[in-house]
């Protein structure tokens, strides 16, 4: 993926959240939302653009065939995952089909954030896309591989083999952590993760809100 130049908002505080699959990024998103942040979840953007009838949905079905459709015509994400994960060429083809539409929608949401907002940008490929450069701070969320496996099996009903395939298809977590402003270790208790998020919030976004007359909780 070629890094791009993303909009820089001086009147919006951007927190980039990155990390590998099932490390708990959405948990951190929820904690930040409770503090008043808006959340732009790149994976949710992808899901929205893949809905039946959308141009991206049409392009994926035409490229990969009707076997990636469920009975109701929507994309069967599990079947699509079986095709692309573990096959670097197919994964790159999927990204090329999705990238322009995802990029445009993410730009629209960044530019549409109200002045004075704290906007969380949650993206596995935050660095690769260039979005990390537009963020005021980047947090990498990490978790042990065994926890990633357990979450994928429990939350997404994946088989162990399928879960390991997803985990191993991504670069080591340490690469993202090394580039981040700080690391949120989500391998412990929920209370521990909450404490880390609260400290990070107070050290960064709360000051931005205070300077602009907002309220950081």
pLDDT > 90: percent of the chain: 83
**66 domain residue, yes or no:** no
Whether 217 is covered by a domain: the verdict is no
Q: Does the structure show a pLDDT above 90 at 213?
A: no
Give a yes or no: residue 28 inside a domain: yes
Contact 72, 87 (CB under 8 A): no
3-state helix, strand, coil split of the chain in percent (to 5) is: 55, 10, 30
Say if 125 falls within a structural domain. yes
Q: Where are the beta strands (DSSP E) in 73-146?
A: 118-122, 137-142
Tell me, what's the pLDDT at 215? 52
Q: Give the C-alpha separation, 114 to 214, whole Å.
A: 12
Domain count, the chain: 1
Model confidence pLDDT, tens digit, residues 75-90: 999 899 889 987 889 9
Amino acid 7: pLDDT: 85
Helix/strand/coil (H, E, C) string of 173-205? HHHHHHHCCEEEECCCCHHHHHHHHHHHHHHCH
pLDDT number for residue 3: 66
The CATH number for 169's domain is 3.40.50.300
pLDDT tens per residue, range 195-204: 999 999 999 9
Residue 96 · residue 86 · CB < 8 Å: no
The residue range of the domain holding 142 is 13-52+85-211
Please indicate, yes or no, if residue 7 is contained in any of the structural domains: no
Answer yes or no: pTM beyond 0.75. yes
79 belongs to a structural domain: no
Q: Rounded to an integer, what distance in angstroms lies between the CA atom of residue 144 and that of residue 1?
A: 26
End-to-end CA distance of the chain: 37
Asked whether residue 130 is domain-assigned, the answer is yes
pLDDT higher than threshold 90 for residue 2:
no
Please determine, for residue 1, whether its predicted confidence score (pLDDT) is greater than 60.
no
Question: What was the pLDDT predicted at 212?
Answer: 83
For residue 119, being part of any structural domain is answered with yes
* Strand ordering across the sheet containing 137-142: 38-41, 118-122, 13-18, 137-142, 182-185
Helix (H, G, I), strand (E, B) or coil at 104: helix
């Amino acid at each position: 993926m070629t890094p791009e130049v993303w909009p820089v908002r001086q009147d919006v505080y951007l927190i980039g959240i990155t990390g590998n699959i099932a490390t708990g990024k959405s948990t951190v998103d929820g904690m930040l939302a409770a503090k008043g942040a808006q959340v732009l979840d790149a994976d949710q953007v992808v899901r929205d653009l893949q809905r039946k009838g959308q141009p991206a949905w049409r392009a994926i079905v035409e490229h990969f065939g009707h076997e990636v459709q469920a009975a109701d015509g929507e994309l069967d994400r599990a079947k699509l995952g079986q095709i692309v994960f573990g096959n670097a060429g197919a994964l790159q083809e999927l990204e090329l089909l999705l990238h322009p539409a995802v990029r445009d929608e993410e730009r629209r949401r960044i530019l549409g954030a109200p002045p004075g907002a704290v906007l969380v940008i949650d993206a596995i490929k935050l660095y690769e896309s260039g979005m990390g450069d537009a963020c005021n701070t980047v947090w990498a969320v990490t978790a042990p591989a065994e926890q990633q496996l357990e979450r994928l099996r429990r939350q997404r009903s994946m088989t162990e083999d399928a879960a390991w395939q997803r985990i191993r298809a991504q670069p080591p977590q340490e690469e993202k952590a090394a580039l981040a402003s700080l690391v949120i270790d989500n391998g412990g208790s929920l209370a521990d993760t909450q404490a880390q998020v609260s400290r990070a919030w107070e050290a960064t976004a709360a000051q931005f809100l205070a300077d602009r007359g907002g309220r950081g909780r």
